[in-house]
Amino acid sequence: MKKLFEDISRINTKDEYDLLLSYLESLIQTATQNGFLSEQNADNEYTREIGRLSRLCANYENEFMTFEFKVKSPILHTIQDEIDPKLVVEYL
């Protein structure tokens, strides 16, 4: 396996993040196609490298990125589906 980004210990820019993420995705695809991820607790050069690169990406995401989830919880959907809209207006 040819390794890229061996000398990197931290992602500092969005460009580095995008390149590393693209490489990580291709590495996962190759490892999957070749059966290196077929066992749940597999320990091989692919799983170790995927783990290392994933940690680098996660560290960058925690430090520099914010994510906003715009998904309502299932319970909120259920409540909204069951409530009579006329009652909501009356209380407002």
Q: How is 55-91 classified by DSSP, letter by letter?
A: HHHHHHHHHH---------HHHHHHHHHS-HHHHHHH
Q: Report pLDDT for 49.
A: 95
Reading the chain (92 residues) residue by residue, the pLDDT tens digits are 888 889 999 999 999 999 999 999 999 999 999 999 999 899 999 999 999 999 999 999 999 987 776 777 778 777 777 776 666 555 44
Kindly report whether the global pTM for this prediction surpasses the value 0.75.
Answer: no
Q: Report pLDDT for 92.
A: 45
Cβ proximity of 19 and 60 under 8 Å: no
Q: Report pLDDT for 74.
A: 79
